[in-house]
Structure 1
Amino acid sequence: MGVKMPKYVLLMERIKQKIEDGEYKPGDKIPSEREMAAKYSINRMAVKNAINKLQEEGYLKSIHGKGTFVVKMMNRNLETLTGLSASIKGKGLTPSSKVIVQGIVEGFTEMNEKLHLDKEAKLYRLLRLRLGNDIPIALEDAYIPLDLFPDIEEHNFEMVSLFEYMEHKRITITDSPQFLTIEKLNEREAKYLEVLPGTSVFAFIYIHKDLNGRVVEYTKSYTLGDNTSFEVRLNK
């Protein structure tokens, strides 16, 4: 006699199949718990369990007040230098950015040291929310030497990426050390990423250097872990 599979597991497999078949695409909002319970003649607790498990596996993401959406695991190659926009595009999602803070910063001695600048040097700060199919993926806080990019305030970084901007300015990035830790979001950061305060995220630090060894960008990126995987290859 076969073992009867729990109803929430059966629902998980149905939802996965719809995602794999393209019926549910990345960024699509799936039916509500009530709608699924009625459609499949199961109780809402079973639906809730299925959705929670699929979120843990990276298939779905619930956004408070908006619903539950299909996401796609985004593979970040830690060996190659590509912008986040390119990584998002590579997974079939439409990248977008929302500028939260931008402008000239003076007297930030600690950051000036990280950029190898005199303490009097002016910086340009750009804090952006990065999205894929309008779903928050990362919160990026970037600092750039103003003397290297005096026209940076004229650019709309909701329409163009920093990577594209630097390419346009003929800045070639040849070295980009990356550091990764796990951190917990404070209330303000969590609000932007639409998660609860204290949520653990991947905290990346990128230090981009040009052909002359100058630090042209220092960025800290808080990346949600529920739609991100990483690739590292061992060189033989």
Structure 2
Amino acid sequence: MHSTSKTRTRGLLRGRLRDLIAELGPGRRLPSERDLSAEWGVARMTLRAAVDELVGEGLLERRHGSGTYIVFSPVLRVIGLTSFTHDMRSRGIEPSSRILDFRTITADDALAAHLRIPVGSPVFWISRLRLGNGEPVAIESVSIPVSYAPHLTRDDLEGSLYEVLGAKHGLVASAASMRIEPILPDQASADLLGIGVEQACLRVRMVDTDRSGRVVMLATCVYRGDKYQLRAEVSGAAGEADGRAVS
């Protein structure tokens, strides 16, 4: 009978923990077991057993010396012109940024060719660490010709760059080409992302153009492989070209 009661209590605690997980969101730290057991009026060992079960299900993770955290499930992004900020918020995750670098550089031959601007033109160089619920997710590096957004400031870089460029500077990207590849991060990138150099990442290179075909932005993003996934939807029949079968 006592065992049945404890099993029932653990079941109720799992339910309360699931509610708490939904309320707090991915990446957040749970209150301590001491505080939760006191608040909910249950034995600490019984609470720990319920937490252990959710750890086993992959909903929670224990970090030595830090506490128990809600697992940050990978964000699944359908490839398209959506911002990091939109991706995060659409999944109930609070996005934020840490500006690593913001300065004006001079376009060399290679950069000028990619942006299709004269060599020597001033270009904004922006580097940001992107976070979801305070946890590092990606390192983003962006190049924008200064003449396209001459009044861009450091304060514009806290949220979605797409939104700021469109609303404040009238610079709207309507198409993009992407190159996606798996990489291992260098030590500096791994330190920023809070991972080891052996952990796989996704590197996404984007060339954004406006409706006239003008290149308005170059972006390179390095995403944590365990935090971000990309999905593409493709239509059309394989083996066909211009409506004709290929032999």
TM-score scaled to structure 2, two decimals?
Answer: 0.72
Q: Do 2:98 and 2:158's aligned partners in 1 also have CA atoms closer than 8 Å? A: no
Give me the whole-angstrom Cα distance separating, in 1, the residues matched to 2:155 and 2:25: 29
1:175–1:209: 8 Å Cα contact kept in structure 2? yes
Distance 2:195 2:21 in 1: 29
**Aligned: 1:28 with 2:28:** yes
Secondary structure of 1:81's partner? coil
Q: In structure 1, what is the equivalent of residue 75 of structure 2?
A: 74
Aligned AA (1:156): D
Q: 1 CA distance for matches of 2:57 and 2:156?
A: 36
Cα pair 1:19 1:25 within 8 Å, conserved: no
2:239 — aligned with what?
none
Compute the displacement of 1:106 (Å): 1.7
Check whether the contact 1:139–1:223 (CA below 8 A) recurs between aligned residues. Answer: yes
For residues 147-167 of structure 1, give each alpha carbon's deviation from its aligned partner in whole angstroms, at most 9, with x where no partner exists: 211111x34144332101221
The amino acid that maps onto 1:29 is R
Partner of 1:159: 158
Give yes or no for contact 2:25–2:92 (8 Å, CA) kept in 1.
no
The code of the aligned residue for 1:174 comes to S
TM-superposed CA distance for 1:96, in Å, is 0.7
RMSD over aligned CA atoms reads 3.5
Between the aligned partners of 1:67 and 1:87, the Cα distance in structure 2 is 27
- Asked whether the equivalents of residues 77 and 228 of structure 2 are also in contact (C-alpha less than 8 Å), the reply is yes
Structure number with bigger Rg: 2
Contact preservation (8 Å) 2:148, 2:171: no
Aligned residue for 2:218?
218
Whole-angstrom CA distance in 1 between matches of 2:158 and 2:30:
29
Distance 1:206 1:62 in 2: 36
Any unmatched runs of 5+ in structure 2?
1-13, 36-43, 237-247
Equivalent residue, structure 2, for 1:114? 114
Q: Which amino acid aligns with 1:94?
A: E
Structure 1 residues 67 and 120 mapped into 2: Cα distance closer, same or farther (>3 Å)?
A: farther
SS at match of 1:176: strand
Residues 180, 203 of structure 1: 8 Å contact kept: yes
Q: Percent identity?
A: 21
Match runs of 1:1-236 below 5 Å: 18=18, 22=22, 25-30=25-30, 39=45, 54=58, 66=66, 69-70=69-70, 71-78=72-79, 80-152=80-152, 154-168=153-167, 169-236=169-236
Quick one: distance in 2 between partners of 1:144 and 1:64? Answer: 42
Paired residues, what number? Answer: 215
| SS class of match (1:98) | strand
Q: 1:137/1:230 Cα in 2 relative to 1: closer, same or farther (>3 Å)?
A: same
Deviation by residue 1:14-62 (Cα, 9 ceiling, x = unmatched): 69x72796266323214789x9xx736999xxx6xx86983xxxx5678
